[in-house]
Amino acid sequence: MTPADILLSSVHFALAALIAAMALIAIRVLRGPTLADRALALDQLVGVAIGFIAVIAVKTGFELYIDIALALGLTGFLTTAAFARYLALAGDPEGLRGDTASDKTEKKTAP
């Protein structure tokens, strides 16, 4: 087994693992249950996309992909920071803490 074969096998394994991670993260984005869960899942999706771009850069040998991954990382960080600032200024929007309707009714009816 040559080093090129090992590299190719590693790239294929990494791509399969990243695709599985993207699928699991997409489920978390869709199911929630809170806005914060969805925001963290989208942030993680950016991280996995950066990894995906890096693996493609290794596979193709095209170094410009690394610059694209860096730009995506900066954009993802700024998006997360902006969302956190929005949540801090907005207070506690409905459903952010994960309170369910039954929890709210119990709080209102309890003496």
CA distances (Å), 31 to each of 26, 35, 100, in order?
Answer: 9, 10, 15
pTM, two decimals, is 0.75
Residue 20: HSE in the Cβ half-sphere, 13 Å Cα cutoff = 6
| Mean pLDDT value of segment 39-45 | 90
Domain boundaries, the chain: 3-91
CA distances (Å), 82 to each of 27, 34, 75, 87, 108, in order?
Answer: 23, 18, 10, 9, 34
DSSP secondary structure letter of residue 34 = S
Comparison of pLDDT for 83 and 72, the residue scoring more: 72
**Model confidence over 2-26: pLDDT tens digits?**
999 999 999 999 999 999 999 999 9
- pLDDT score at 88: 78
